[in-house]
Chains A and B, each alone.
Chain A
Amino acid sequence: MVKTFACSFTATNLDARSGIASVVDRLRTLGIPAARADEVQIALTEAVNNVVEHAYPDAAPGDVRIKAELSPERLWISIQDAGAPYPNGQLPEGNPADVNVPVQNLPEGGFGWFLIRELANNVQYERSEGNNNLSLCFEIQVTSPSAGP
């Protein structure tokens, strides 16, 4: 059985915070293990932060639409916005930050895509009809951990 739900909010930091909290609360009530729900929250937060920071101009934040589709073994979350596309239509690679540097040279950002790619099992991006459509898939370890195709 597949359960779906959706929500939308304005692309500001505070609206994103409460919107994401409502999505994650819902996932917990649907039985996603607590540790996995934490990971979904981290990845979803990073994805939405990117929309807030990069897709829309600060003075005119548009909407972020979230759809969740939960089947017994996996969760797909799609994040849609009508803001600027990713540069070159491509998602960042999300390489790990180099921590073997002097303290003063440590990175203060650029962790977001690394976290998303580390925590999601599959990431897809499509630009269509003026929208960014980002989909994150999370395997939910309830039964056997089956590998992807």
Chain B
Amino acid sequence: MELRKTEMYSVQEMILEKKRKKKVNMEKIIPKLLFLTAAISVFTTIGIILTLIFETFIFFDRVSIVEFFTEAKWLPFASTPSFGIMPLIVGTLKITVIAAVVAVPVGLATAIFLSEYASEKTRRIIKPILEVLAGIPTIVYGFFALTFVTPVLRDLFPSLDMFNALSPGIVVGIMIMPMIASLSEDALVSVPKSIREGAYALGATKLETTIKVVLPAAISGIMASIVLALSRAIGETMIVSVAGGSTPNMSMDVTSSIQTMTAYIVQVSSGDAGYGTTIYYSIYAVGMTLFVFTLIMNLLAQFISRKFREEY
């Protein structure tokens, strides 16, 4: 068989021909273009930080930074305004704590059930449902909190105000629960089978194995998932805007109206605070505080999961 001689042309010749014609060198340009797209994400971060810093500086030009952190009243719309962020932080933390009380036990129990007890079939049904739960827009959760959870809670506790911390707190908890469940489940599943088998072989029950062997081995992943989820709770906006009210206060009461940092930004943005007013700049100072809170928690989560990563 003479493959080539029967041919009318030579592929190699054609390739050479094409190569001579080619002018633009994509190989040099493309990596640079791609690097630029990658740089956009860095510029976004820089943009966020610079925006917050510049506008916050203008705010602190008008309102003392000492007042901002020490004053216990947030009354921007009063005739003698007061800009002490503490009430907003307290409101945010109230929501976060209530959310954690709901989400951590439920999320963790779900993760344990899915990774240790559930059959493959059950997992295949439940995991997509959790994904759906995680994908529901927050405004829908806000609507749900206001029109369902609050009325139900008010039937149970008649002293509850229409706007309160409890209802949005619980709903924020429901919103972040799938995140804890799914990230913790990943951590539990990645614990090697051999470690479990070691415990089973000693006659430990499934529960004992889970609590004493699997959970400790997966603890870093679980902690990281909780910290990340709580960071989401701190930054959650629409649920608290719709169902939490707009009364910043320092009380520990969860039955009355509150305001979180995020809800304040929404209140100002959807109102008519003119560009350049002190109130306008105050949303950047609040945004800056919020950003620092969530950044610290995100870094903490990364630190936890990196520090304890290579245990097995």
Are A and B co-members of a single complex?
no
